[in-house]
Structure 1
Amino acid sequence: MAGAAAGGAELFFERLCIAQNAESGVDVLPVIRRDEDRLQRLRTGGLTPRELRFGGQADLLTRPKLNSVLKAFHPSVVVAWMNRAARFAPPGPWTLAGRLGGFYDLGYYKRCEHLIGNTRGLASWMVRQGWPAERVHYVPNFAADISKVEPVRPREIPSDVPFIVALGRLHTNKAFDVLIRAMKHLPGVRLLIAGEGPEREALETLIRTERLGDRVIMPGWASNPASLIRACDVFVCPSRHEPLGNVVIEGFSAIRPVVAAASQGPRELIVHGSNGMLAPVDDARSLATSIGMVLGDHVLAQRLALAGRRTYEKNFAPMPVLTAWEAFLRKVSPVPSPSGAVQEHSFGQVSG
């Protein structure tokens, strides 16, 4: 996995490798871009990762080194985790699969025999791009069960006012500007946006322009985001572009009502009015209306939260997702091991 130091796809890679090794009996060797923190997290999870450079076009050493690592490990299946890893991934006596978390250039995956999408929409798109349907696989992400995490309400937010939370990188794709504008239509409500990124200055300017400085706070990355999700009255995903929406799954797990913009991922996860609420993309007033409906109706909020939790338990908790990954590995493995276990080697990068 040759991705960045932080990011949803990168962190899920770590969780998946650790869980496969600990829970599914899969023999996993993570090969990662050099990153001391990631190396230590994987070691703490019981794994023995290898680090390689995974550099740019001038990097002529990573591919032969990776080939040597793979031959020494003897994997049945190699999973290239996003674009850069797929570019470096060598063919061999193993099955080579590419795992995508977005609508990326499939030219990176020309050596792969199979593709994995973490949403049904992404898998369908791969088939429309010309990949044979029998070599395209839908395997979703899982989120940790945070339903028992102790809620922690920020000290800046009084206990007697409605409180909503949004999480993510401060990037235009996340549409936090739309959520801030929605706050004009939600008098008395407080908002916390936990995250960091290139849009911080623009968002802070917008907060001042809209005179919302007393109701919107942006404290940076949260050290314990689960406690914030558990404490909020409504969890919001306003993204204008969101291929999956891990945060929606986290809201389901936390048993909190979720309101999201109807971008690709949330639209696949949420049945409007059943396990969450959807608003049109880039529509601040509609987003505010959906949030206000949930805040104003305790029965509706509880019904949405419980239905979201059922969705999580059925489809996005660790065990059903690990079962789906094990089924995929067994299906594509060229030679299952005598014990019936499947060896997997995972690595890669998320684009952008």
Structure 2
Amino acid sequence: MKILHIITGLGIGGAEQQLRMLLPHLPARSDVVTLTHPGPVAVQLREDGVTVEHLGMRGNRDLRALPRLTRIIANGGYDLVHTHLYRACVYGRPAAYLARVPAIATEHSLGSHHMEGRPLNRGNRALYLLTERLGRATVAVSDTVATRLREWGVPEQRIHVVPNGIDARRFRYDAARRQRTRARLSVGPDTFLVGAVGRLVPGKRFDLLLRALAETPGAHLLLVGDGPERLALEKLAAELGVTDRLHLPGACGTDGPEPTVPGLLAAMDVFVSTSREEAFGLAAVEALAAGLPTLHTACPALEDLPAHQTEGARRVSSHPTLLARELTRYITAGATRITPPAAVAHYDIARSADRLTHIYDDTLRRTSSRS
């Protein structure tokens, strides 16, 4: 089986890193086309031996991408096209249709009101639904996203749930790594370190964490990620008087040179996700794999499971004062690691790849029967 994966960009992000993690577990040869921004994940994929082609799109309305994608698909001998993220879906599915190659799509980022950080409107919803009909299946990364797709009007029989996955071994707590990472950050061994991971964009609401930090004397905040809100967050930290307690190491991967996300999670004492909404919430699952008590305001990955599978995680208020009270409770109780709950094993990357492989096989079988 030969598959072409088409993705909007390859900077450090959840969908981009999820694609990289999946490829070694799929029983297929996989090539990747990125429409824009061949960033760090493109470099990592090439180091993994994956062929990555940059299409060089100049914007959402660069229609030259459609015939170029169609030629790549038609000439590449692909059995299947798999698209990831909104722009890749609305261009990749028509291109695959024109090249007469079956396509499926994974919906990584559909929220109630936003998609990929942008407000939903009638136009992008209509375009998504129009192109969705040109594919054979749409994969939702959570039951929550599957429900949203049904509410949009995607037929039930075309929706499949394949949750995001992690390699839990990479996140296993390591006391030596904790010590090294704290030393790199100039954080003392007894300092209570609150942590968060994600792109610095408005929807993550990291400003709430900063305001809670201002009401939690003695605690420090480790905010892992980068994005357009960085300067605004730095300005807010200065206004709140917490600049000396804020650590911004930038975007980090799960492997490679330190600091890495597993090392930074090891350095933390409690993990907090303040997102307005999520399609999955992978960072929270990674935090649990690292043995971190995890607080969240929206996380389908955990909310879609029974409570006994998510021990150590708790939904909390997004009000800064109430969040500060929660953090103070952990400080008072003392920092302790937890045993990773059953949710971590449930979201094993090999298990997700196996589910996806069944969808590939079924799609090709149904395509062959129609021929």
TM-score under structure 1 length normalisation: 0.82
Q: 1:276 aligns to what?
A: 313
Q: 2:73 aligns to what?
A: 70
Q: 2:151 aligns to what?
A: 128
Whole-Å separation in 2 of the counterparts to 1:270 and 1:242: 18
Whole-Å separation in 2 of the counterparts to 1:292 and 1:285: 10
Shift of 1:28: 1.5
Deviation by residue 1:57-82 (Cα, 9 ceiling, x = unmatched): 66454323322322333333311112
Whole-Å separation in 2 of the counterparts to 1:128 and 1:290: 35
Between 243-252 and 56-65, report the one with greater CA deviation: 56-65
Deviation by residue 1:41-65 (Cα, 9 ceiling, x = unmatched): 2222122233323444664543233
Pick the aligned partner of 2:203 from 154, 169, 173. 173
- Superposition RMSD on alpha carbons, in Å? 2.8
Pick the aligned partner of 1:159 from 173, 185, 189. 189
Q: 1:345 aligns to what?
A: none
Whole-Å separation in 2 of the counterparts to 1:55 and 1:197: 20
Q: Secondary structure at the match of 1:78?
A: strand
Q: 2:86 aligns to what?
A: 83
- 1:35-54 aligned at under 5 Å gives the runs 35=38, 37-54=40-57
Q: Secondary structure at the match of 1:126?
A: helix
Pick the aligned partner of 1:27 from 23, 26, 29. 29
Equivalent residue pairs, number: 327
Higher relative contact order (CA 8 A, sep 6+): 1
Deviation by residue 1:101-159 (Cα, 9 ceiling, x = unmatched): 12243334342221111111001111122222111011111223321552221442221
Shift of 1:176: 1.2
Asked if the contact 1:207–1:213 (Cα under 8 Å) also holds between the matched residues in 2, the reply is yes
Structure 1 counterpart of 2:344, which letter? Y
Structure 2 stretches lacking a partner, 5+ long: 1-6, 116-124, 253-258
* 1:113 paired to 2:136: yes
* 1:191 paired to 2:221: yes
Whole-Å separation in 1 of the counterparts to 2:299 and 2:343: 19
Shift of 1:212: 2.1
Deviation by residue 1:268-301 (Cα, 9 ceiling, x = unmatched): 4694982312112x311222233333343369x5
Asked if the contact 2:21–2:349 (Cα under 8 Å) also holds between the matched residues in 1, the reply is no
Q: 1:327 aligns to what?
A: 358
Structure 2 counterpart of 1:238, which letter? T
Whole-Å separation in 2 of the counterparts to 1:213 and 1:259: 23
Structure 1 counterpart of 2:198, which letter? G
Q: 1:242 aligns to what?
A: 278
Q: Secondary structure at the match of 1:326?
A: helix
Q: 1:182 aligns to what?
A: 212
Q: Secondary structure at the match of 1:11?
A: helix
Between 194-203 and 174-183, report the one with greater CA deviation: 194-203
Between 143-152 and 189-198, report the one with greater CA deviation: 143-152
Whole-Å separation in 1 of the counterparts to 2:283 and 2:261: 10
Q: 1:341 aligns to what?
A: none
Structure 1 counterpart of 2:155, which letter? P
User: Percent identical across equivalent pairs?
Assistant: 23
Q: 1:306 aligns to what?
A: 339
Q: Secondary structure at the match of 2:203?
A: helix
Pick the aligned partner of 1:205 from 230, 235, 238. 235
- 1:257-296 aligned at under 5 Å gives the runs 257-262=293-298, 264=300, 267-268=303-304, 271=307, 274-280=311-317, 282-296=318-332
TM-score under structure 2 length normalisation: 0.78
